[in-house]
Amino acid sequence: MKGDMYLAWSSDSEILNRSENGGIVTSLLKFVLDTKRVDAVLAVKARGDDRYDGGPVLITDPSELIETAGSLHCSSPNIARFLKEYLGGAFDMKLAVVGKPCDIRGTIELVKREQVNLDNLFLIGLNCSGTLSPVVAKRTIIEEFGVDPLNIIHEDIEDGNLIIMLKDGTEKTKDLKALEEKGYGRRENCRRCEIKIPTMADIACGKWGTSNKKATFVEICSDKGAELFEEAIKAGYIAVEHADDKAIKERKEKEQEAIESALKWEKTDFAPLKNMAIEEKFDYWWGQFSQCIKCYGCRDACPICYCKDCILEADRGVVMPGEVPPNAMFPMIRIAHVMDSCLNCGQCQDACPAGIPLTRLIFMLNKELYGIFKYQPGVDVASRPPLRSITDEELTIPGVELVF
């Protein structure tokens, strides 16, 4: 049932061996493919044995699923974009999609915009403490751990530490906060992200609450998820036991710790921007935007952006063609159009050739808009983006400002 929590593990020994925890995600994917409940599965796989290059894969052959087992922390693929751009939003196919909370939330925002068909999807969310960008990850491992990045077979983030496991079985651990204060560690947006458990998916899977047993902690988040899970159990793909209070408490505590750390980083990231005098803000941001070379990388990467005929294109008459930097409308419209739904996924900032701190600005604005409209993007399909929706109640509110 929705809300149920389990400790679960795969009944398939090969999957269980390959997996870090209980192998539940892989087993569920296998279940839906074997039983043809879906046409294909959208998951993440390392390119060959390169742990620093994980990308989306579309799998139709169940035997290929085993290669997606395990987690990759040193890459941040854009799953929602892949779904929207290359899989037609799942209008023509049934899919199971595996993603981090930001991937799932991006998908849900796209559902609201009628770009993705939620009915055709099983959303399996993964707990996430953050990802590292591959180049920074390699630098961190070389410069701080003194290890060859090719020597890593596994990396993990746990209890505020970055842990790497080498080929010879040894482990090395470093305090993540200390690393990040030096400029190593996770992507900036991941550090301040408060959404660690993807309860907006159908099923949320992670290792918090497992006390490091070889199992996966599963939370059922929707009726669709409940049905799927029960059938997978019945069909013998997974075995479960109900999560006891101790496990649930452990999970809650770990989540709280992670959220507290995130909120601290959020303050660190946003305070300098908020504390500038208004003239300084202008000079700072227009100095940043003046480095823009009109690559459209931010627009392409943003899961929320979906217009086939984007207003910022050169032939639309809003932004003068052929100018670098593009005129003021380019950054302003880009930000204004997505700010009420920004997921803090960080894809825009990753994509910017000029290193403009886009996610920092746009998510900061999103948080301010949250303060006004109380809207959290990507969490509830039924709640509408605040700057693009109105309710009938507002007809009777006389003032020029609303209070939520």
Partner 1 sequence: MDIKYVPTICPYCSCGCGIYLVIKDGRIIGQEPWKEHPVNEGANCPKGKNAYAYIYSEDRLKMPLVRKNGVFKESSWEEALNLVSSKLKEAAPEKFGLIASCRNSNEDAYVIQKFARVVMGTNNVEYCGRLCHSSAVAGLVPTMGSGVMQTSQLEIELADCIFLAGVNLKETFPMISRRVLRAKDRGAKVIYTDPRNTATARYLADIHLQLKSGTDAALINAMMSIILAEGLENKEFIATRTAGLDELRNFLSKIDLKQAEELTGVPIEKIREAAITYARAERGCILYNQGICQHTVGGDNVKLHADLALLCGHAGKPGSGVNSMRGQINGEGSGDMGCLCVFYPGFKRVSEEAAKFFEDAWGVSNLPTKPGMTYIDQLYNCKFLYMIGGDPMMVVPDVNNVKKVLQNMNFIVVQDIFLTEIARLAHVVLPAATWVEREGTHTFVDRRVQKINKFIDTPGETKPDWLIVSQLAERMGHKDKFSFSSAGEIFEEIRSCIPQYKGITYERLEKTVGGIHWPCPSEEHPGTPTMFLEKFGTPDGLGHFQPVEYKPPAEMPDEEYPYFLTTGRSIFHYHTGHMTRRTPKLMNEVPRGFVEVNPKDAIKAGVKDRDIVTLETRRGSIEAEARVTDNVQPGLLFIPVHFADSCANVLTNSALDPSCKCAETKVCAVRLEVKR
Partner 2 sequence: MNENKFEPKIVGFCCNWCSYAGADLAGVGRLQYPPDIRVVRVMCSGRVSDLLILNAFAIGADGILVAGCHPGDCHYLKGNLAARRRVMGLKPFLEAIGIRPERLRLEWIAASEGPKFAETVMSFTQTIKELGPSPFNRRRNGH
Which of 327, 353, 374, 380 is in the footprint of partner 2 by CB under 8 A?
Answer: 327
| Out of 22, 23, 134, 386, the residue judged to bind partner 1 by CB under 8 A | 134
Q: Quick one: which H or E segment has residue 252?
A: helix 245-275
Residues 311-330 that bind partner 1 (CB under 8 A): 313-315, 321-322, 324-325
Q: Which of 178, 233, 273, 351 binds partner 2 (CB under 8 A)?
A: 273
| Binding to partner 1, residues 52-91 (CB under 8 A) | 52-53, 55-58, 60, 75-76, 78, 81, 85-87
| Binder of partner 2 out of 20, 281, 324, 374 (CB under 8 A) | 281
Laid out side by side, the sheet with 171-175 consists of 152-158, 161-166, 171-175
> Interface with partner 1 includes 372 (CB under 8 A)?
no
- Taking the least distance from each CB to partner 2, the nearer of 182 and 316 is 316
CB of 68 to partner 1, least distance (A): 14
Instruction: Give the DSSP per-residue string, 254-273.
Output: HHHHHHHHHHHHHHHHHHHH
Q: Is residue 329 involved in binding partner 2 (CB under 8 A)?
A: yes
Starting at the edge strand found earlier in the chain, the sheet holding 40-47 runs 50-59, 40-47, 95-99, 121-126, 203-206, 216-220, 5-10, 238-242
- Cβ burial 121-148 (10 Å sphere, 16+ → b, else e): bbbbbbbbbbbbbbebbbebbeebbebe
Nearer to partner 2, 296 or 370 (CB): 370
Give strand pairing partners of 56: 44
Residue 335 touches which of partner 1, partner 2, none (Cβ within 5-8 Å per kind): partner 2
Question: Is there binding between residue 207 and partner 2 (CB under 8 A)?
Answer: no
Measured CA to CA, the distance from residue 79 to residue 69 in angstroms comes to 17
**Omega before 325 within 30 of 0, i.e. cis:** yes
State the Cα–Cα distance between residues 109 and 98, nearest whole angstrom: 16
Q: How far apart are CA 56 and CA 41, in angstroms?
A: 10
Stretch that binds partner 2, among 21-29, 68-76, 107-115, 364-372 (CB under 8 A): 364-372
Distance in Å from the first CA to the final CA of the chain: 32
How far, in Å, CA of 209 to CA of 311, rounded?
Answer: 47
Among positions 328, 353, 374, 380, the unique one binding partner 2 when judged by CB under 8 A: 328
- Min dist CB 210 to partner 2, Å, is 41
* CB neighbour class for 346 (10 Å; exposed up to 12, middle 13-18, buried from 19): buried
Phi, psi of 167 (to 5 degrees): -60, -35
What minimum distance in Å lies between the beta carbon of 313 and partner 1?
7
The rounded distance, in Å, linking the Cα atoms of 81 and 76 is 12
Which position has the token pair 């302003």? 332
* Binding letters toward partner 2, positions 285-324, x by CB under 8 A: xx------------------------x------x------
Residue 280 contact, options partner 1, partner 2, none, Cβ 5-8 Å cut-off depending on partner type = partner 2
Segment 327-366, which members bind partner 1 (CB under 8 A)? Answer: 350-355
Residues that bind partner 2 (CB under 8 A): 273, 278-286, 311, 318, 327-329, 332-333, 335-337, 339-340, 361, 364-365, 368-369, 372-373, 386-387, 389-390, 394-398, 400-402
Residues that bind partner 1 (CB under 8 A): 40, 47, 50, 52-53, 55-58, 60, 75-76, 78, 81, 85-87, 93, 133-135, 290-291, 293-297, 300-301, 313-315, 321-322, 324-325, 350-355
